[in-house]
Amino acid sequence: MPVTFLNSLYQPLHMRGKLPTQTFAILSVVTFIMLSGNFSLFHGILNIYPLTLRNLPFLFSLALFFTSLTAIFFLAISHGKWTRWILAAFLLIASQSAYYMDHFGVIIDTVMIDNIMQTNRSEFSSLVTSTLVLRTFILGVIPAWLILKFCPDPLSFKQELKSRLRSILLFLLAIVILVIPFTADYTSFIREHKIVRFYSNPTYSVYSAIKYATQLTSISAHNLPLLKTAEDAVHLDPSNSKKELIIMVVGETARADRFSLNGYQRNTNPELSKQDIVSFSNVSSCGTSTGVSVPCMFSSLGREKYDKEKALNQENVLDVLAKHGIEVLWRDNN
């Protein structure tokens, strides 16, 4: 049925001898992604500006603003014979990103991409659900296949360039027209609600992926020497033959105000409360993801000064212990 529908859609254009340009295909994909893959973005906007008669003009302006920005981005990077493949890739990326943003409220930034790159097979398999597969198939695979099959071949370079530039200029003009009447509202939105913009799909996901790749390239290119840490550290009693075993369990980050050990009314720590333990209440995590919090925890940089590149180029506490003859065994829970 989709094939029949698209054939009937394009037939009048064929009959007139005018094939649709790739610009039409690009804008069709942009429209589809904005409608199917940006629920979290618009949900966040509606939480800030409820759907009232007073807010309606600005909400309409915001929807067109984000659509125009996405269209400009797509038009700028999709060219020639690669257009169909780029659009298909964007459809798959958008469907995946939308699932995780809608279900877990996460932002696909460089930290999240780093977590994805470090995910092993066991962790990945636990994230694959029937809902993810079904959603990806309906909103990603099928549209991507349709684009690969029906996306028009590029016209001459001059014709395509003219079409893209004209469209980009129109969208830039539209952005100006959309912003001018709501300058104060946009200023407030950009300054105070920065995180909502990060749900723009797939533009922010692609931007983060490019930034992540750039960071990796920068780290590889610098190839800095390993900096020594805690050079004044000494083993107090290396001759002591008595063996000591210290087990440190590093768990997931959790909300401190939900621990009954720290005064929370509900008994959320029934087993731990039976043990002879010390609960440190004035503690904060180095980060909200494993890829940041764990290496930060064992580095000498601290939360405020932590930087991934710096941490990779200096010894951490485990290195210092091993250097002084203390055997260190790291076991992952997978």
Residue 70 domain flag: yes
- 147 and 29 Cβ atoms separated by less than 8 Å: yes
Distance CA 94, CA 203 (A): 9
Residue 76 domain flag: yes
Nearest alpha carbon to residue 48 among 195, 203, 204, 201 = 195
Distance CA 294, CA 215 (A): 19
Residue 251 domain flag: no
The phi and psi torsions of 14 (rounded to 5 degrees) equal -65, -40
pLDDT attached to residue 282: 78
Residue 84 domain flag: yes
Q: Give per-residue pLDDT as tens, 2-54.
A: 444 444 444 444 433 444 588 899 999 999 999 999 999 999 999 999 999 99
pLDDT range class, residue 231, cuts 50, 70, 90 = confident
Residue 297 domain flag: no
Q: Which domain holds residue 177?
A: 2-221
Residue 197 domain flag: yes
Nearest alpha carbon to residue 47 among 146, 193, 170, 243 = 193
When the pLDDT of each residue in the chain is averaged and rounded to a whole number, the result is: 84
What's at 234, amino acid-wise? Answer: V
% of the chain residues with pLDDT over 70:
90
Instruction: Please report which helix (H) or strand (E) contains residue 118, including its range.
Output: helix 110-118
Query: Total structural domains in the chain?
Result: 1
Residue 230 domain flag: no
- 106 and 112 Cβ atoms separated by less than 8 Å: yes
H helix and E strand count, the chain: 17, 0
pLDDT attached to residue 110: 86
- 19 and 152 Cβ atoms separated by less than 8 Å: yes
Q: Give per-residue pLDDT as tens, 209-226.
A: 999 888 888 766 566 777
What mean pLDDT is predicted for residues 106-115? Answer: 86
What mean pLDDT is predicted for residues 305-330? Answer: 84
Sign of CA dihedral 35, 141, 25, 75: positive
Residue 62 domain flag: yes
- State how far the alpha carbon of 204 is from the alpha carbons of 67, 115, 230, in Å: 13, 17, 40
What's at 179, amino acid-wise? Answer: V
> Model-level pTM?
0.73
What mean pLDDT is predicted for residues 50-75? Answer: 94
Q: Give the up-direction half-sphere exposure of residue 92: CA atoms within 13 A in the CB hemisphere.
A: 12
The phi and psi torsions of 227 (rounded to 5 degrees) equal -85, 135
What mean pLDDT is predicted for residues 142-151? Answer: 94
Q: Give per-residue pLDDT as tens, 245-303.
A: 888 888 766 777 788 888 888 998 899 889 888 888 777 778 777 778 888 888 888 88
- DSSP letter for 201, please: T
For 284, other C-beta atoms within 10 Å of its C-beta total 7
pLDDT attached to residue 172: 96
